[in-house]
Chain A
Amino acid sequence: MRLPTRPDKHALAGVYALDAVTGRERERFMRHLASCPECEQEVRGLQETATRFALAASTPPPRGLRDRVLAEAASTRQLPAVPEMRQQPQRGTTVTRRLAIPLAVVGSAAAIVLGVLLGISRSELGSETAQQRSIDAVLDAPGDRIISARTSLGGSASVVVAGSLHELVFTGRGLRGLPDAEVYQLWVLGPAGTATAISDGLLARAPNGTTTPTLASGLAVGDRIGVTVEPAGGTAKPTTTPILLISLPS
């Protein structure tokens, strides 16, 4: 047997293509993929191969399923393609430019794609939560801004920043399911490296990957909002690389 001459990062291509690698290891490999075109190519081929396994397992679905899915689709709103700016271009442009700097700091610019999103309506963001009144106050405040970003694990998040810039409402959408042992945790990251967990810090996630809108207050200039994957129960400080990082407008 030939031994690899160095720890081979590419070796995860197979297990990644089969969706058999989890947690931090998976994140690390995703970051590696972003900077390794030939690995990406390999993974793509292996993913197509995995699809052939699925086709080979093809089984006629239960009879009623088709009608149920079609009926449900008829009353389900579709997601927009890639979050993009729809109005207020000048403001949006500034925000985007500002976001480019922290991205470079994270060092995984390719993994985290940021965009400005104004496509989410306020009614969508707001639903019944304990903090509803404060959340409504933020959402209804004049001059607020919506910033959206995609996470490096899939899905996206948007923050509505109050005109006062001291409060925001965070909503994640389409977040990937995590193993039972892991949770998403939301942080305010200060410029001096401080990290504060928001409320209990964990994002309550609906089955479709949408989180309950969560309020963060007491923000200061230079703060960023970050999401990390942490052991169930949460941690006092972030222990993994953020899958999402948003700089607040100043």
Chain B
Amino acid sequence: MSASDKLRSRAAGGPERDLDSLLGLVARGDKEAFETVYDRMAGPAYGLIRKVVRDPAQSEEVAQEVLLEVWRSAARFDPAKGTAMTWAMMIAHRRAVDRVRSVAAEAQREQRTATAGVDISADEVAETVEAAMDREQVRRCLQGLSDIQRESVTLAYYGGYSYREVARLLNVALGTIKTRIRDGLTRMRNCLGVVS
């Protein structure tokens, strides 16, 4: 299966569906299913949290909270509202943002500004083929955005900034940021072939 076939199969709901049903088993206390879910979710969760939080030790703590939350709340996952991976990544993003908003992290925020942006290859260590494909595709699609779309989307998501903060950082009107983020994300959706 070629890389693009594999991505298409994912876009069509292939492996993601499996994860959805695994989460159903987790909801019933199935520990083996949870191990598989962990193995699928831990990399993306930890990677995303690292992007937002930066500090490895704090990121690890947040990742632990998030993955445990997946176990605790598995029964609350509603497949009608999105995939299991998206549900988990929303929890991960929220917890990561909560962490950087704590007072202790405030001092580091200014520093992060410079690095939170587009360079998504910065933290690479060993990675799976699948992650490499995702990375490559996202990178390619990001190139199709305007500068302001790309910066605002990545600052908001990887940087964990609210759109009001993004507007301040980029010195652009609030309404413009809202629109650019929506347009940029829509372009990404089309470029990545996301179906929902």
Contacts and interface: CB of A to CB of B under 8 A. Distances in A.
A246 B182 CA distance: 36
Contact of A49 (B39, B72, B126, B189): B189
A20 interface: yes
A15 interface: yes
A180 B186 CA distance: 31
Contacts of B115: none
B73 A79 contact: yes
B138 A73 contact: no
A76 B94 contact: no
Interface in B31-87: 31, 34-35, 38-39, 42-48, 50-51, 56, 60, 63-65, 67-69, 71-76, 81-83, 85-86
A62 B60 contact: yes
A27 to B, nearest CB: 14
A13 B182 contact: yes
B184 A14 contact: yes
A59 B157 CA distance: 16
A129 interface: no
Given A47-B82, A50-B157, A53-B157, A73 B188 contact: no
A207 B102 CA distance: 12
Contacts of B175: 11
A73 B47 contact: no
Interface in B103-159: 103, 120, 123-128, 130-131, 134-135, 137-139, 153-154, 156-158
Contact of A73 (B71, B153, B158): B71
Nearest to B94: A19
A53 B83 CA distance: 15
A20 B164 CA distance: 8
B94 A59 contact: no
B194 interface: yes
Contacts of A57: 44, 47-48, 50-51, 120, 123, 135, 158
B177 to A, nearest CB: 8
A65 interface: yes
Given A11-B182, A54-B47, A45 B189 contact: yes
Nearest to A2: B179
Contact of B46 (A14, A59, A174): A59
Report the interface size class on chain B.
35 or more
A59 B75 contact: no
Contact of B47 (A20, A58, A82, A177): A58
Contacts of A22: 162, 164
B134 A58 contact: yes
A204 interface: no
A50 to B, nearest CB: 6
Interface string A139-153: 000000000000000
A18 B181 CA distance: 9
A15 B50 contact: no
9 contacts: A44-B82, A54-B92, A56-B134, A57-B48, A57-B135, A57-B158, A60-B46, A65-B42, A74-B31
Given A20-B163, A69-B64, A73-B71, 17 more contacts: A15-B181, A19-B157, A22-B162, A22-B164, A50-B93, A54-B45, A54-B48, A55-B85, A55-B138, A57-B47, A59-B43, A61-B42, A72-B68, A78-B29, A78-B73, A79-B76, A180-B103
Interface of A: 11-15, 17-22, 41, 44-62, 65-66, 68-70, 72-74, 76-82, 174, 176-177, 179-180, 207-208
Interface of B: 27, 29, 31, 34-35, 38-39, 42-48, 50-51, 56, 60, 63-65, 67-69, 71-76, 81-83, 85-86, 89-90, 92-95, 97-98, 101-103, 120, 123-128, 130-131, 134-135, 137-139, 153-154, 156-158, 161-164, 166, 175, 177-179, 181-186, 188-189, 192, 194-196
